[in-house]
Structure 1
Amino acid sequence: MKKYVLILFVSFSLQMSGQTIQQIDSLSSKMCESFKALKGVKDQTQILMVFQKHTPRFYKMVGVTSKEQADSVADRIYFRLQKNCQAFLDVLGHLEENKSDWQKLLEKPKAKISKKQCDAFFSGKNFYYKEYDGNIVKVTLSSSHWIETFHDNTTSTLLIRRKDNCEFDLEFLESNNNMRKNLSVKGDVYHYGVFSVEEGVYNLWNLTKDNQYYSVRLYPQK
Structure 2
Amino acid sequence: MKKLGWLLLVFAPFLSSAQDIVEIDSISYVICDRMEELDIKNDEELMDKLYNEIAIPYIMSYPERKRQDAADRLFFRLQRNCTAFSLLLDRLSPPKSGTGRIFEKPEPTISDEDLQMFKEVDEFYYLEVDGVRTYVTMEKGIWKDHFADDTYSKLSYEWINEYEFVLEFIKSNNLGRANLSVKGDQYIYQVLSKEKNHFRVSVNVPGQREYQIFKFFFKPQE
TM-score by structure 2 length? Answer: 0.85
Residue in 1 aligned with 2:157? 160
Matched-pair contact (CA < 8 Å) for 1:42–1:91: no
The whole-number CA distance in structure 2 between the counterparts of 1:95 and 1:56 is 20
With 161-170 and 107-116 compared, the bigger mean Cα shift is at 107-116
Q: 1:195 to 1:23 in 2, by over 3 A?
A: same
Q: 1:64 to 1:151 in 2, by over 3 A?
A: same
Residue in 2 aligned with 1:11? none
Deviation at 1:4, TM superposition (A): 4.5
The amino acid across from 1:45 in the alignment is E
Structure 1: give runs of 5+ residues left out of the alignment: 9-15
The whole-number CA distance in structure 2 between the counterparts of 1:198 and 1:6 is 34
Matched-pair contact (CA < 8 Å) for 2:121–2:218: no
Residue in 2 aligned with 1:26? 26
The whole-number CA distance in structure 2 between the counterparts of 1:177 and 1:44 is 27
Deviation at 1:46, TM superposition (A): 1.6
Deviation at 1:70, TM superposition (A): 0.8
Deviation at 1:57, TM superposition (A): 5.1
Residue in 2 aligned with 1:169? 166
Deviation at 1:24, TM superposition (A): 1.0
Deviation at 1:99, TM superposition (A): 0.7
Matched-pair contact (CA < 8 Å) for 1:122–1:143: no
Structure 2: give runs of 5+ residues left out of the alignment: 10-14
The amino acid across from 2:208 in the alignment is D
Matched-pair contact (CA < 8 Å) for 2:198–2:219: no
Residue in 2 aligned with 1:5? 6
Deviation at 1:35, TM superposition (A): 1.8
What is the aligned counterpart of 1:201 among 188, 198, 201?
Answer: 198
Residues 49-92 of structure 1 deviation map (CA, whole Å, 9 limit, x = unaligned): 112222355346xx5222x4111101000000001101101111
Deviation at 1:142, TM superposition (A): 1.5
| Superposition RMSD in Å | 2.3
2:152 paired with 1:151: no
Identical positions, percent:
33
Q: 1:188 to 1:40 in 2, by over 3 A?
A: same
